Amino acid sequence: MTSIAPVMRLRETVDHFLSQFRGQRILLYPNPGNAGDCLILTGTVAALDRAGVQYSVIPRQADVTGATVLVGGGGNLVPLYRDISDALERFLPRAARIVILPHTIRGHSRLLRRFNERVVVLCREAESLKYVRRINPHVETALGHDMAFHIDAEHLLARTDLTVRAMPIIEASLATAGLSLDSMRAMPRVRFMRTDIESTGTCSAGHMDLSATLGGVSCVASAEITTFTLLKIVSTARHIETDRLHVAIAAALCGVPCDLHDNSYGKNGAVFAASLSSFANVRLVESSRPANAWDRLTPDERRLSLRRDLRPKRIVKRIGFWARRLEGMVSNSMSSRH
């Protein structure tokens, strides 16, 4: 297992923040999603229990009138997804207070501008924090690391009740990819690569998409079993390569060497810089393809960029720039022919 020192440091901000709710009963809306979101929910419950906070898990349709609502952390508040933004649209007019647990945030600018003094936004990396503060400088914000870091992996993996319930799931899940725990132990490297819209498409195929295969959030109890399953599989590997953020976080918690590739919009790289760089066993793999700056811009940033580019002086400057580029390309082409 990994050293507890970096984990404790990464928990500090959220632990301190949650302590204000000790003895209160709050409502928790988990982030729906894949097995990585199960790690987030399991870590959230562990943090609430340590802080002495009572909670009730709610669906999006719940009545939150006059209540304090914790919205689960993760990477859902980006243009690719709407689960968390739709929930916030529903909660905002009714809740007495809303706390968004550590999240990666891109886009959704109209929603962010509606946040007022009743909303607190915890961002899990600096890029999100900077973005939220730019869109709405009046909302309360802070940097808080991913909630999966609140999991005590060693304690969880030692539980015999979870072992009994999870082993059939582990065997069946690995078998779909022609793997087993024994075969993984013999492999020098296991590749758990994503197959969804966040894939960059630049990495070769993996052995399996672990986070997608193991399923998503349904309740606290099932999330705990899925968390055990993912941690057990990851802890068995000798070396992992992945572009799944929570596979890398699981590797960090279990002390397994891990090479992490970025995802399509830079989330993994941002969280690595904020958190995972604290772990000696995890490294960020630089992309073989230069990052496309335009792809990483939010819709608001793209519109702002276009407005700047359409100013007369800007247009003249850009024409000059591309004229010089074209001249250089023609010159290089002519030189190569000779």
* C-alpha to C-alpha distance for 163 and 21, rounded to whole angstroms: 33
Residues 6+ apart with CB under 8 A from 289: 200, 202
pLDDT at 333 over 50: no
pLDDT, the chain, mean: 88
One domain, residues 221 and 322 = no
One domain, residues 140 and 15 = yes
pLDDT at 213 over 50: yes
Residues 6+ apart with CB under 8 A from 328: none
Neighbours of 91 (CB within 10 A): 21
CB-facing half-sphere around the CA of 205: CA atoms within 13 A: 3
Q: Which domain holds residue 102?
A: 4-149
In a domain, 133, yes or no: yes
One domain, residues 276 and 314 = no
pLDDT at 338 over 70: no
Place of tokens 């790690």: 39
Q: What is the pLDDT of residues 177-189, one digit of tens each?
A: 999 999 999 999 9
**154-164 exposure pattern, b = at least 16 Cβ within 10 A, e = fewer:** eebbeeeebee
Give the angle subtended at the CA of 58 by the CAs of 66 and 253, to the nearest 5°. Answer: 115
* C-alpha to C-alpha distance for 62 and 191, rounded to whole angstroms: 40
In a domain, 94, yes or no: yes
In a domain, 295, yes or no: no
* SS3 of residue 260 by DSSP: strand
The DSSP 8-state label assigned to residue 278 in this structure reads G
* C-alpha to C-alpha distance for 261 and 200, rounded to whole angstroms: 9
In a domain, 291, yes or no: no
HEC letters along 56-105: EECCCCCCCCCCEEEECCEEEECCCCCHHHHHHHHHCCCCCEEEEEEEEE
Q: Say if CB 76 and CB 103 are below 8 A apart.
A: yes
Q: Say if CB 64 and CB 58 are below 8 A apart.
A: yes
| Residue 6 vs residues 9, 11, 274, 326: alpha-carbon distances, Å | 5, 9, 12, 50
| pLDDT higher at 286 or 187 | 187
Q: How many domains does the chain have?
A: 3
Neighbours of 6 (CB within 10 A): 18
Q: What is the pLDDT of residues 88-145, one digit of tens each?
A: 999 999 999 999 999 999 999 999 999 999 999 999 999 999 999 999 999 999 999 9
One domain, residues 47 and 122 = yes
Of 98, 119, 149, the last residue of a domain is 149
One domain, residues 15 and 109 = yes
| pLDDT higher at 1 or 243 | 243
One domain, residues 211 and 142 = no
Pairing of strands 54-57, 68-71: unpaired
| pLDDT higher at 330 or 237 | 237
Would you state the pLDDT for residue 3? 66
Alpha helices (H) in the chain, listed in sequence order: 4-18, 35-51, 83-91, 109-113, 126-135, 153-157, 160-175, 181-186, 210-213, 220-236, 245-254, 267-274, 293-296, 299-309, 312-337
* C-alpha to C-alpha distance for 205 and 9, rounded to whole angstroms: 35
One domain, residues 10 and 142 = yes
pLDDT band for 218, please (50, 70, 90 cuts): confident
pLDDT at 288 over 60: no
pLDDT band for 287, please (50, 70, 90 cuts): low
Structure pTM? 0.84
Q: Say if CB 43 and CB 151 are below 8 A apart.
A: yes
Of 113, 129, 136, 58, nearest to 91 by C-alpha is 58
* C-alpha to C-alpha distance for 62 and 35, rounded to whole angstroms: 24
Would you state the pLDDT for residue 313? 47
If residue 141 lies in a helix (H) or strand (E), which one and from where to where?
strand 140-143
Would you state the pLDDT for residue 332? 41
CATH number at residue 88: 3.40.50
One domain, residues 139 and 171 = no
In a domain, 202, yes or no: yes
One domain, residues 133 and 13 = yes
- What is the percentage of the chain residues whose pLDDT exceeds 90? 78
Of 122, 149, 176, the last residue of a domain is 149
Would you state the pLDDT for residue 235? 97
Of 257, 284, 311, the last residue of a domain is 284
In a domain, 294, yes or no: no
Q: Say if CB 236 and CB 161 are below 8 A apart.
A: no
One domain, residues 30 and 75 = yes
Of 186, 293, 167, nearest to 233 by C-alpha is 167
In a domain, 289, yes or no: no
In a domain, 183, yes or no: yes
One domain, residues 197 and 252 = yes
One domain, residues 61 and 85 = yes
Would you state the pLDDT for residue 5? 79
